[in-house]
Structure 1
Amino acid sequence: MARPTHDEMIAKLTFTECYPHYVAKVEKKGRSIEELHQVISWLTGFDEPQLQEFIKNETSFNDFFNLATLHPNAHLIKGVICGYRVEEIENPLSQRVRYLDKLVDELAKGKKLEKILRA
């Protein structure tokens, strides 16, 4: 059986599956859930009640990002995450998920919110 591609694996993920990992990652490094939600909201346009609804409904990343209003400065997110240079990812869904991963990583690494939010 062929090994699933990176894009196929991303398409099967849900926001619900990844969210606890995001929380654990940022809290382990002394950052707050509020800061995490601020970062997610900046990227997607979703507020707290919407995020809770996505978690409860086990929303796929595909649906999550199809409903999102990506921040106009999202294209400024650059760098390597999970071995992929985010600005070079061609699949739009994979790129958006990796944008989110990159922002969570920056938050966990102690970067200032103004820098993370490309202000």
Structure 2
Amino acid sequence: MSRHPIFDMAFARVYPMYVQKAEKKGRSQAEVDEVTCWLTGYDEAGLRQQIDQGNSFEQFFAEAPALNPNASLIKGVVCGVRVESVEDPLMQKIRYLDKLVDELAKGKAMEKILRQ
């Protein structure tokens, strides 16, 4: 199986698209940051550092302090793929983040997005 190109793509390249998607639906950059930090364990400074360094998605998740233990509760479809069925661990983490941003843009309550 070939390596997916998104693994080498800079997180900083996709992050503005996450923010734009959320802001179009009346959500904020701070909320995108909150769901991203919830999933990865980064604090605000760590997230900014990852963006400033231009790290790839692979580096971004490899250096993440800790994937949230409730990440496995993230279920649903992103880009026609069930996130809970993704076999590659890195791709699944990327899809988890995509799903969280989708839920944010769809107006879901933050408590539900963060699986509280």
TM-score computed with the length of structure 1 as normaliser? 0.92
Structure 1 segments of 4+ aligned residues over 4 angstroms from their partners: none
Matched, 1:66 2:65: no
Partner of residue 50, structure 2: 54
**Identical pairs, percent:** 57
- When the two chains are superposed, the root-mean-square deviation of aligned CA atoms in Å is 1.3
Partner of residue 24, structure 1: 20
Q: Structure 1 unaligned runs (5+)?
A: none
Q: Structure 2 unaligned runs (5+)?
A: none
Counterpart of 1:42, as a letter, is W
How many pairs are equivalent?
115
CA drift at 1:10 = 2.3
d(CA) in 2 for partners of 1:18 and 1:41? 16
d(CA) in 1 for partners of 2:101 and 2:10? 16
TM-score computed with the length of structure 2 as normaliser? 0.94
- Equivalent position to 1:103, from 97, 100, 104: 100
Matched, 1:89 2:112: no
